[in-house]
Structure 1
Amino acid sequence: MSIRALEAFHAVVTLGSVAAAAEQLHVTQPAVSHMLKSLADATGLTLFRKQGRRLVLTEDGQVFFNDVSSALNVLSGLQASAKSIRSARTGNVRLGAIPVVADHILPDLLGCYMKNNSDIGISLEVVELHRAINLLDAGSIDIAILSGSPPDHFKVHAAFPGNTVLVAPPGHFEEEQAKISLSDIQEAPFIALSAGSPFRYALDQHLAAHNLSLNIRAQFRTQSAIAGLVAAGAGISILDRSVVAKRRFDVQVLEFGPPLQWSFQLLTRKTGILSTAAEHLIEFLQIQFARQTGPQ
């Protein structure tokens, strides 16, 4: 019993003739007649009786027609569902990202994406580096956006540079000081990210490479918390520009040298199959990251 034969049967009943059904299905009338016979043979039912030159449904044929209509509606829904999945218009994507990315970089990007892909659900977990790696390894998230050197068993789909700046309380530096040398702030009270974070590691390596040190007064887990402390006058810090880009914090933002290089990576597992929706989101993020010289 083929789907094509069911469609031919349905077309004959709804259109009233073999000729009309053949025209709709773009086949010959003998082909339609052959499909009706094969369907009758497959079901063991007498589907039509002749009334003059017309075909009229039998009672069995009417019951079968109702079921065929329901089945074809279901099939049409399945075809539409498959098309939506192929075009990534439906599905769910699970992301994990470190706080600076989740709080300050992704909201605008994901907001734009979700506006144009309303049937794709996105869940975002704000996680520290090691937790994100564990979740990605376990398949609990589809995509991770992290900093630092990724493990070898992850696939890097995109890497984009961070943009670090010196932040200070309002009025701390003279307005004409467009760029600050790190050697000039070694004695100033400095608020750092907690030891063990990729950003802190990059900063420590950067300082060591230039024989510099900082007067670390306090350590906190997130860059947002540090920006708030700087705004309150607790000290100065080095943060990613995205944290202070929208002027959420009342701080001075200055360039410094020698500049600190660090980056974010968009990662998935090398093994396993990504959903079409996840692949579509990765493509979107790759395009967005490629447009940036650094998070703004």
Structure 2
Amino acid sequence: MSLAEQRTENDEQSAVSVIGLGQMGTRLAQAFLAAGYATTVWNRSPAKADALVAQGAVRAATAAAAVTAGPLVVVCLPDYATVHGVLGPVAAELRGRTLVNLTSGTPEEAADAADRAAGHGAAYLDGAAMSGTRLVGRPEALFVLSGSRAAFDTHQAVLRSLGNTVYLGADPALAPVYDTALFGLAWGALAGFYHSVALTRAAGVDPSAFAGVAAAHMQFVTSLMTEHARQAQEGSFPDDDGTVEVHRAAMEHLAHTGTAQGVGTEVPALFRSLLEQAAADGHGASGIASVIETIAKGARKD
């Protein structure tokens, strides 16, 4: 291959199309533009592309034009039904390209979308933006992706302009599994934080001052995640970090303190119910991570 041909191929590999220009889609396109990639954009409401065109994006007149503008097509739409509605009529144009679907949905929807893409000769990556819109384009923005490994490797440099892109595996359903699990993790942590802010504020503590101490404490909490994940993998729960009974007593103290301060006890009540069930399941003397088994047991009963 001549140098000129190689440059042409590199330029083509650097072209990306973004379909769907809501808050997230717009930030995706801006990140690609900021990284210097030729970016084509399309939205069902054409006016949403105006600001991006002013920033250097190319406006596609149709969805088909957006798909055929380059080898990488990134879709971010409200739901999978909308994705199929937009791409279905132009599916033949996807052949030989990579479709990256950053639309939130279920594992079943991701598997179905991957099958549809394969049926039209396209490589498929399902994904999720885990850090909201504010961090897109920065190294700390987390994106999880699963599906075609070859497609991920081919377009990794372009996708990396969005942030920390983590490849999870070949099963396209993995991305939505991680998406929902990490959402639950974030909300569990935030629920605890919100209760803590209410509790400390009632005692006259400035929320910003508390947040500084809480952020430092979270380093210890994240270290527990690593250790307790290992325990769950091995099915053994030593009491190094406290037993279920010890934590249940601490949760009683937290609930009592909240009541005394006049703040809601819904959050500690939830945690206390999990600890009580874990003790009833025979894990009272086990390490705190054995609560995982109680939660998993409940899921099997549904």
TM superposition score category, shorter chain reference: under 0.3
TM-score normalised by length of structure 2: 0.23
Structure index of larger Rg: 1
What's the TM-score once normalised by structure 1's chain length?
Answer: 0.24
| Larger strand percent | 1
As a proportion of its length, which structure holds more helix? 2
